[in-house]
Homo-oligomer: A and B are copies of this chain.
Amino acid sequence: MEEVYAGLPFPARETRPYVLVNMVASLDGKASAGGKAGAIGSLIDRALMRILRARADAVMTGARTLRAEKLTLAVPRDLARSRASRGLKPQPLAVLVTGSGEVPLDENLTGASSDNLLVLASPEIPRERLAYLSSRAAVEVLPEIRRKEPKGRHTGLRLDLEGALEVLKKRYAVDVLLVEGGPTLNHAFVVDGLADELFLTLAPKLVGGSRPENITVLEGPPLPPRAADPNLLSVYLSGDELFLRYALRPAGPG
Q: Which of A235-254 contact B (CB under 8 A)?
A: 235, 237, 240, 242, 244, 246, 248
Whether A235 and B232, one on each chain, are in contact in the complex, defined by CB atoms closer than 8 angstroms, is no
A208 to B223, CA, bound (A): 5
Q: Which of A159-201 contact B (CB under 8 A)?
A: 183, 187, 190-191, 198, 200
Q: Which of A205-254 contact B (CB under 8 A)?
A: 205-211, 213-214, 216-223, 227-232, 235, 237, 240, 242, 244, 246, 248
Q: Which residues of B contact A27 (CB under 8 A)?
A: 198, 200, 217, 230, 244, 246
Report which of B34, B202, B222, B231 forms a contact with A202, defined as CB distance below 8 A: B202
How many chain A residues touch the partner (CB < 8 A)? 47
21 contacts between A and B (CB under 8 A): A25-B29, A26-B29, A27-B198, A27-B246, A29-B30, A29-B31, A29-B216, A33-B222, A187-B208, A198-B206, A202-B202, A204-B229, A206-B248, A207-B218, A208-B221, A209-B220, A210-B216, A213-B222, A214-B222, A231-B240, A242-B242
Q: Does A102 contact B (CB under 8 A)?
A: no
Q: Does A28 contact B (CB under 8 A)?
A: yes
